[in-house]
């Protein structure tokens, strides 16, 4: 890629990130092009679909989430690792309004630009769940698809203004439903949330 094309791409991503953080995933491609001071054709040459743009926007975050799962898997007890990673997911969902719905839709669509990122997140969450289940710390009547569904549902809910203030409470309810025992850090946090 030529230097000017790389510069355009980087600038488009910076502008798109600002718009998505401010306005959510419904930010118009035309508006992104206009604010980046490039033509729509230039934007579409770099990112032919909305999903391709979002994949570029969130891939760094999703790669970091996957790496965090690897770290937690080796350094924390299985229940603490699962809850900590789930919390990291919620923080990601809060930073990119609307992207969770796109990820949930892409989850089973190999043709989607977001599919690979979704598959990595799904695999990481499933791995942490299986580890907690093997130690008797998580329900055994659920699988990685169920966990990804619950994560997506919570991500979608916290996008809604009426549920956003209850995000922490909803997180604790879901985590409590998944775990058969509460990790100490989770219990301490839940107690401080009620205070």
Domain boundary among 28, 48, 68: 48
Q: Do 85 and 115 share a structural domain?
A: yes
Q: What is the pLDDT of residue 103?
A: 80
Q: What is the pLDDT of residues 95-132, one digit of tens each?
A: 877 778 878 887 788 888 778 888 888 899 999 999 99
Q: Do 124 and 35 share a structural domain?
A: no
Q: Do 15 and 41 share a structural domain?
A: yes
Q: Do 58 and 25 share a structural domain?
A: no
Q: What is the pLDDT of residue 147?
A: 94
- Write the CATH number for 15: 1.10.10.60
- Residue 69 near residue 130 (C-beta atoms within 8 A): no
Q: Do 99 and 15 share a structural domain?
A: no
What pTM was computed for the model? 0.77
Three-state DSSP class for residue 138: strand
Residue 138 has phi, psi (to 5 degrees) of -140, 155
Domain coverage including residue 55: 49-194
Write the CB contacts of 72 (distance below 8 Å, at least 6 apart in sequence): 80, 81, 84, 85, 128
Per the structure, the count of domains in the chain is: 2
Q: Do 117 and 44 share a structural domain?
A: no
Q: Do 184 and 94 share a structural domain?
A: yes
Question: 191: pLDDT confidence band, cut at 50, 70 and 90?
Answer: very low
Q: Do 66 and 28 share a structural domain?
A: no
Q: Do 95 and 23 share a structural domain?
A: no
Q: Do 130 and 105 share a structural domain?
A: yes
Question: 160: pLDDT confidence band, cut at 50, 70 and 90?
Answer: confident
Q: Do 106 and 177 share a structural domain?
A: yes
Q: In the predicted model, is pLDDT for residue 31 greater than 60? A: yes
Three-state DSSP class for residue 179: strand
């Amino acid at each position: 890629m030529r230097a000017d094309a790389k510069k355009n791409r980087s600038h488009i991503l910076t502008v798109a990130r600002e718009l998505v953080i401010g306005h959510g995933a419904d930010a118009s491609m035309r508006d992104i092009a206009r604010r980046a001071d490039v033509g729509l054709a230039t934007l579409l040459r770099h990112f032919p679909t909305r999903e391709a743009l979002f994949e570029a926007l969130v891939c760094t975050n999703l790669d970091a989430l996957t790496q965090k799962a690897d770290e937690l898997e080796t350094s924390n007890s299985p229940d603490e690792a699962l809850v900590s990673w789930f919390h990291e997911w919620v923080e990601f969902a809060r930073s990119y309004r609307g992207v969770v719905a796109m990820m949930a839709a892409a989850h089973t669509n190999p043709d989607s630009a977001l599919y690979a990122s979704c598959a990595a997140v799904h695999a990481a969450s499933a791995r942490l769940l299986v580890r907690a289940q093997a130690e008797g710390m998580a329900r055994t009547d659920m699988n990685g698809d169920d966990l990804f569904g619950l994560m997506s549902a919570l991500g979608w809910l916290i996008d809604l203004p009426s549920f956003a203030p209850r995000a922490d409470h909803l997180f604790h309810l879901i985590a409590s439903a998944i775990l058969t025992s509460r990790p100490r850090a989770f219990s301490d946090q839940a107690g401080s949330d009620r205070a």
